[in-house]
Structure formats: C-alpha cells, structure tokens
A and B are shown apart, each in its own frame.
Chain A
C-alpha cells in the first residue's frame, strides 16, 4: 500500500514536471517553439510538483520522502532528455558518437 502511494506520488510529480518542461521558456526559445509559461504559472506548477514531498515530510515518512525525491529526480532527467529528443531528433544523432 505504502509502495503504491509512493509510486503514485512520483508519477504525480513527474506529470507536473512534464508540464513544466513543456512550457519551459528557455527550452522553448532554444527549440524555436514560441513563448513558454509565465513566471506565476511556473511557480504554481513547481509548488504542485513539490506537494507530495511536503506531505511525506509533514507525515514524518522519511522512506517515502527519499523515494519520492529520488524518483522525481530521475523522472525529471528523463523528461528533459525526452523533450530534447522530440524537439530535436537530428541533434541526438549528430551529437552522439
């Protein structure tokens, strides 16, 4: 049960991180994809992504907090890689050896 709850928290934060990445102004500028989210939207989404972690902290569940933090970090990196691959597939092939 606890594992499922932690997994759900990681998935929730990863989904919000995906939204953040999709609307990230600097990423969109470099991909020539137009303007991104406004600062207020980004701040709200960031807060939303951090909510599960804060809940685990308040609840005093150290294991779930660590799992969420690590899982969200890995998911964030994967989201950044995936968005770069989608927006610039040729870049991947050119850059890699």
Chain B
C-alpha cells in the first residue's frame, strides 16, 4: 500500500484521530440520519399509512390547472410547481420569485387537489411553508432535516454539515494513507485480542470495505451543503453583480425571446402522458415558467432511465404542449459540468435504481456509522491508563452512538401517536427531544458504561418491536389491506422493525450476570 515515512505516518494518525474526535459524534448523527433518510419516501408511506399507488401525474389535471390559473392573481402566475403531496394528491404552487434578505424565495398560492379532483387545501405563503413539514410527512421531513442541517438555521446548518462532510473526506484520505495492510487485513477481526486490537480491526475492516463510498458520500454531501451557501452567492457576485435570480435563470432557465402575449396553457394531460412515455417513469416534479403567456415552458423531471445514473428532464412548449428537447440540468445544451452536477444527487441518495440501490446505500451508510463509532472507541482504548481520564467521552460516545437510534424510534412513536390528531409536526421533534433527555439522564445515572449500553440497546430493541403494533393501533392499515392496495413497503418496514428490535434484544441474551467492563477499564495491550 502507500508507505509514508514514520513521522508523516504519525502526523497522519494524529490528523485522522483528532478530526474524528472533534467532529466524529456530529458526523455520526449526520450519517445515521442520512442512512435512515435513504428510505424517507418509504418511511413517509409507512408512517402515514399511504395506500394510493396511482400517481397524480397519471390522472387528468389539465382542466384543474386552467381553472386554478384563472382563479389565481396574475402576480403569482410567474411560475407554477407541480408535485405529489400526501397520498398521491396533486400540489400546485403558483408563485413569483423575489429576494428576501439576500435570499431568493418563491411567494404565492399553494393548492392541493385530492384524488377525486376536488381542491382540499389552499394556502398563501412562501416556498418554506409549501415544502416544509406537514402533519402526514412530519417524520420523514424531520429525518431529512436532521441529516441536511441538524436543525440549525440556514445557512449555518448547511455550513456545519458541509464541514462535517469535509472532515469525513479528511478521515477517509488519512485513513487510507496510514493503513499499511489495506488488503491483507480485510478479513482479519481479532475479537479475542486486546481491546486496542479488537477495536482497530473492527474499525479498519468496515472502513476498508466502505472506503470508495466514504469518498463519494462525503464529497457529494459537502457539494450539496456548500452549493447554495457558498457556491451560488460567490458565482452570483463574480458574474451577475450579486443578482442570484439572474444567475438562477441563466443556469437553470430556458433562454429565448420573451413573448408576454397572453396564451392559454397547453394540454397538461398530453404533456404528462408524453413525458411518461419518453422517460419511462412518472415525473417527480414539474415546473411551468411564464404561465398563461405565449412563451410558457414546461419542464418535467424524472428518475434516471434503466441503466442510467443521471435523472432526466424534458422540455415542452407550454402554450402548444409540444415536446421541445431533453433538457440538461444546467444550461440549454449538454455539458460535462451539467452531467457531473446531475449525478451528484443519485450518487449521494442512492435513488437511481429503486429499492435495490436504496438498500445498498443503506448498508453502506450503516457501515460508515460503524466506522465512526468504532473509530472513537479505538481512540479511547489507545489512551486508557493515561494521565487524563476520558471516561466522560466514552459515555458521550455511547449516549450519541446508541442513544440516537433510540431517540429516532421515540420520535417515530410520537409521530404515530399524534398524526391522527393532527399535531405530528410539533410532536415528532418533541418526541426526539424527550428521547434525547431520557438518554442523557440514563448516561448520567448509569453505574457503568456497559450498563448504559445494555439499557440503550434493550430500550431501542423494545421500542422498535412496538412500532408496528403502535402503527396498527393508531389506525394504520393492516398487512392484508396494504398488500391488496399494492403497497408492500408498509409490511416490509413492519418486518424490518420487528427483526431489528428482535436482533438487538437477542444480542443481550444471558449477559445480565456476566462480568462486564468498559473499554476504558480493560487491560492495556
């Protein structure tokens, strides 16, 4: 492998260890919530008991769109976003773009059209109100928000997660440089060895197997965090005199001669049918620029085609509903930069090949959580018997490492209990905070680190087993109904929670009376 001089290796070990110790716990929180959020869409359907399978884009919507366009004040017809919300209801956000404190926002009227074609919701607000958490998606939105910005207000939350992504990159590169026997050790797990050896093997074996993806996920995660917070303002300042709206239009818009003459929007049903046929997939999002004008443009966004990674976008003439071209993510013509930007999302979220790619990305995320957790443990056992005691850090590592899954399970339980009464957006984060308070209290009163670990594993296991019955008791659909409705993901997630909870409890079997020691109290190598 890569052989460095002794002093350089020593420096790299220090960089690797300290980058992990200083930011490892926050990084663990971001990676764990990201791992769970890979299945955010499925968790949303499971938690809210969504049974509809026919997309809003497969139902007629052309007449509704025209009718709502007529009802909406002209000032909000600059653009329209169309997307699915709730249980395959159709969301339509008529809006205009404006600057608010240096930030580009959308303001307008948001309508929700139910499966029967009736308007079930109408709301005036900004993009933050429209795309924020709702009662029926509070759990998945909470998971995603924790992963994206740790609930720290923008832009600081995004900057923080971007820095965490960079620290993961630093740890991956320094780990690669200091590991002298990368392939020779790839199957060696000496669990009966000394604590240092056992933890080193656990950390390096998981790290080696997941190394290529540690680079990919850390880089793409940092890209997303820094794109809007640093990249866009810097480019806008350098090339557009600080005008973010002009930059957005130049990069993502559709250039052409403005034609403000009034013209009815073309047949949206025809556009949807054509787009689904061309892309081979239902749109995830549709935008209409210059609604009600002769120069209206419709862009449909689709998941990647079979065998591809980059998502697909199609451009239509809004007034005639005629297909114009396949549209690159950036600029009007295909480019290397546009392709690279387009593949960032599927590479990070693993959503380019359905449940198979999501399951694999979940496994890789889990491996990276394990690498972070065992890395901190390794740092601790290497310092046992030293002048300074790190018992507090060992407890903190357990509180975060084993406590976070418990608190996420508590927030899921809080969601299930409160969604039927319409207060899930408040209780889901509140449940998380209640869970966190319980874990911190357990960390403070547990007689030993080992006992704390057992408490948290046991509590998480029991709570995971309780989630499926709780879902059923609070009005969620049963297995028979879910399968009949062609929504097997509800049953699959129920089984996954039961198995995960059972596995955690099974691990604790017969150890109540076994002598136990914390890593910091075990004999040194």
Of the candidates B192, B347, B360, B514, the one whose C-beta lies within 8 Å of that of A91 is B192
Known A74-B360, A97-B453; judge A63-B308 contact (CB<8 A).
Answer: yes
Known A63-B304, A97-B450; judge A24-B364 contact (CB<8 A).
Answer: no
Whether a CB of chain A sits under 8 angstroms from the CB of B191 is yes
Whether a CB of chain B sits under 8 angstroms from the CB of A13 is no
Task: Report yes or no: A92 in contact with B209, Cβ–Cβ below 8 A.
Answer: no
Task: Report yes or no: B206 in contact with A77, Cβ–Cβ below 8 A.
Answer: yes
Binds A, one of B21-29, B54-62, B72-80, B181-189: B181-189
205-257 of chain B: CB within 8 A of chain A: 205-206, 209-210, 212-213
496-524 of chain B: CB within 8 A of chain A: 507, 511, 514, 516, 518
Whether a CB of chain A sits under 8 angstroms from the CB of B440 is no
Give chain A nearest CB distance to B188 CB in angstroms.
Answer: 5
Separation of A29 and B243 alpha carbons in the complex (Å) = 65
Please indicate the chain B residues that have their CB under 8 angstroms from the CB of A76 in the complex. Answer: 186, 209
Of the candidates A26, A90, A91, A93, the one whose C-beta lies within 8 Å of that of B187 is A26
Please indicate the chain A residues that have their CB under 8 angstroms from the CB of B99 in the complex. Answer: none
Task: Report yes or no: A70 in contact with B360, Cβ–Cβ below 8 A.
Answer: yes
Whether a CB of chain B sits under 8 angstroms from the CB of A62 is yes
Q: Nearest CB to that of B366 among chain A residues?
A: A74
Task: Report yes or no: B360 in contact with A67, Cβ–Cβ below 8 A.
Answer: yes
Task: Report yes or no: B188 in contact with A27, Cβ–Cβ below 8 A.
Answer: yes
Give chain A nearest CB distance to B219 CB in angstroms.
Answer: 14
Task: Report yes or no: B367 in contact with A74, Cβ–Cβ below 8 A.
Answer: yes
Task: Report yes or no: B364 in contact with A3, Cβ–Cβ below 8 A.
Answer: no
Known A20-B187, A97-B454; judge A62-B192 contact (CB<8 A).
Answer: no
Task: Report yes or no: A61 in contact with B307, Cβ–Cβ below 8 A.
Answer: yes
Task: Report yes or no: B209 in contact with A69, Cβ–Cβ below 8 A.
Answer: no
142-201 of chain B: CB within 8 A of chain A: 184-193, 195, 198
Task: Report yes or no: B192 in contact with A90, Cβ–Cβ below 8 A.
Answer: yes
Please indicate the chain A residues that have their CB under 8 angstroms from the CB of B353 in the complex. Answer: 3, 6, 63, 67
Task: Report yes or no: A97 in contact with B352, Cβ–Cβ below 8 A.
Answer: no
Please indicate the chain A residues that have their CB under 8 angstroms from the CB of B189 in the complex. Answer: 27, 80-81, 83-84, 88
38-94 of chain A: CB within 8 A of chain B: 61-64, 66-67, 69-71, 73-74, 76-77, 79-81, 83-84, 88, 90-94
Separation of A95 and B449 alpha carbons in the complex (Å) = 13
Whether a CB of chain A sits under 8 angstroms from the CB of B306 is yes
Task: Report yes or no: B309 in contact with A88, Cβ–Cβ below 8 A.
Answer: no
426-480 of chain B: CB within 8 A of chain A: 449-450, 453-454
Task: Report yes or no: A77 in contact with B367, Cβ–Cβ below 8 A.
Answer: yes
Please indicate the chain A residues that have their CB under 8 angstroms from the CB of B309 in the complex. Answer: 62-63, 66
Whether a CB of chain A sits under 8 angstroms from the CB of B354 is yes
Task: Report yes or no: B187 in contact with A21, Cβ–Cβ below 8 A.
Answer: yes
Please indicate the chain A residues that have their CB under 8 angstroms from the CB of B185 in the complex. Answer: 26
Please indicate the chain A residues that have their CB under 8 angstroms from the CB of B205 in the complex. Answer: 77, 80
Q: Nearest CB to that of A62 among chain B residues?
A: B309
Please indicate the chain B residues that have their CB under 8 angstroms from the CB of A20 in the complex. Answer: 187
Question: Looking at A69, A71, A80, which has the most chain B CB atoms within 10 Å of its CB?
Answer: A80
Give chain B nearest CB distance to A93 CB in angstroms.
Answer: 7
Known A6-B356, A77-B209; judge A88-B398 contact (CB<8 A).
Answer: no
Task: Report yes or no: A73 in contact with B307, Cβ–Cβ below 8 A.
Answer: no
Please indicate the chain A residues that have their CB under 8 angstroms from the CB of B192 in the complex. Answer: 88, 90-91, 94
Please indicate the chain B residues that have their CB under 8 angstroms from the CB of A21 in the complex. Answer: 187
Whether a CB of chain B sits under 8 angstroms from the CB of A7 is yes
Whether a CB of chain A sits under 8 angstroms from the CB of B357 is yes
Of the candidates A30, A64, A74, A81, the one whose C-beta lies within 8 Å of that of B190 is A30
Please indicate the chain B residues that have their CB under 8 angstroms from the CB of A88 in the complex. Answer: 189-192
Please indicate the chain B residues that have their CB under 8 angstroms from the CB of A91 in the complex. Answer: 190-192, 198
Separation of A55 and B54 alpha carbons in the complex (Å) = 37
Q: Nearest CB to that of A23 among chain B residues?
A: B187
Separation of A87 and B357 alpha carbons in the complex (Å) = 31
Known A24-B188, A97-B449, A97-B450; judge A73-B356 contact (CB<8 A).
Answer: no
Separation of A76 and B213 alpha carbons in the complex (Å) = 14
Task: Give the B-binding residues of A (Cβ under 8 A).
Answer: 2-3, 6-7, 20-21, 24, 26-27, 30, 61-64, 66-67, 69-71, 73-74, 76-77, 79-81, 83-84, 88, 90-97
Task: Give the A-binding residues of B (Cβ under 8 A).
Answer: 184-193, 195, 198, 202, 205-206, 209-210, 212-213, 304, 306-309, 347, 350, 352-354, 356-357, 360-361, 363-364, 367, 398, 449-450, 453-454, 507, 511, 514, 516, 518
6 contacts between A and B (CB under 8 A): A3-B353, A62-B307, A63-B357, A70-B361, A70-B363, A95-B191
The 5 residue pairs across chains A and B that have the minimum distance between CB atoms: A91-B191, A97-B453, A84-B189, A74-B363, A91-B192
With A3-B356, A63-B304, A76-B209 given, can you name 5 additional A-B contacts, CB distance below 8 Å? A63-B306, A70-B213, A77-B205, A93-B511, A93-B514
